[in-house]
Amino acid sequence: MPYKFSFDLSRVPQSFFRGLVKAAYEKNMHRRIGRGVRQLAEKLKIRELTGLNISDASRLVEDLVDIHARNLLDREKFLKTRKRALFLPHCSRKYMDSRCRARFDPKVPSYYCAHCSPDCLINRATALGKEGGYDVYVSPGGTCIYQILEKNSYEGVVGVACSQELTKGGEVLKNKNLPGQAIFLIKNGCADTKFNLKSLEEIL
C-alpha cells in the first residue's frame, strides 16, 4: 500500500541511514522482532517458495537482514581497501568428482579452478575476482578460510557462503577488524549450491 504522505529524503545524509542500520544491528533489533520477521517471511511467501517451515523461514530472513546490514555498514571501509581476498564455496563447482579439474593445494589450503567448464559458476566467479585484482580461493570450509586469513594480511574480504557460515565469518572479521562483504547462497546443500553471479559482480 502506498504511503499516505509524501517525503523527500534527498537532504538527509547517507550517514544517517548507515547510523540507523548500525544502531539497529548493534542492539540486535532484527533478532528481537520475531513477530515482524515472521510476518515478513509470510509476506514474501518464503514458505511457499522454499518449502521451509515458518521457524526456519524466519531464521533465514533474520540471517539475510544480518548479512545485508553488515555489508552496508562495512561498505565504505571496504571500498578503501586494496589487498583483497575472494572466498568461493567449493560446493558450487559444476562437478564434485574427478570431472572437476581443479587442483587442491593443501598448503594454502584451497582449490584452484582449471577452467574446464565455461558454464561452471566457480569458473565464472573466479574470472570476475581475478579481473578485479582479488586473490581468489575456492574453499572447502570455514577452517581453511581462517588459516588463509591468518597467513595473509588482507585488508578486505569478500565471502560467498550459506547464510549460517557468513554469520559466523562476520564475527571473525569483526574480531580482526577487517571489512567484509558477503554474498549468500541462494541454494544450499553439500553439492550443486548456487549464488547470484550478478550480485557478486556488483559487490566486488
Q: Which residue has the cell 539497529?
A: 24
**Binding test (CB under 6 A) with ligand SF4, winner from 81, 117, 164, 196:** 117
Residue 44 binding ligand SF4, by CB under 6 A: no
Contact 145, 137 (CB under 8 A): yes
Residue 122 binding ligand SF4, by CB under 6 A: yes
Nearer to ligand SF4, 25 or 111 (CB): 111
To which H or E segment does residue 157 belong?
strand 156-161
- Among candidate residues 160, 162, 166, the one with its CA nearest the CA of residue 138: 160
Candidates 24-32, 90-98, 167-175, 185-193; binding stretch for ligand SF4 (CB under 6 A): 90-98
CA distance 92 to 100: 11
Around Cβ 154, how many Cβ atoms within 10 Å?
20
Candidates 7-15, 48-56, 79-87, 89-97; binding stretch for ligand SF4 (CB under 6 A): 89-97
Residue 114 binding ligand SF4, by CB under 6 A: yes
CA distance 167 to 188: 15
Residue 91 binding ligand SF4, by CB under 6 A: no
Nearer to ligand SF4, 70 or 90 (CB): 90
Residue 116 binding ligand SF4, by CB under 6 A: yes
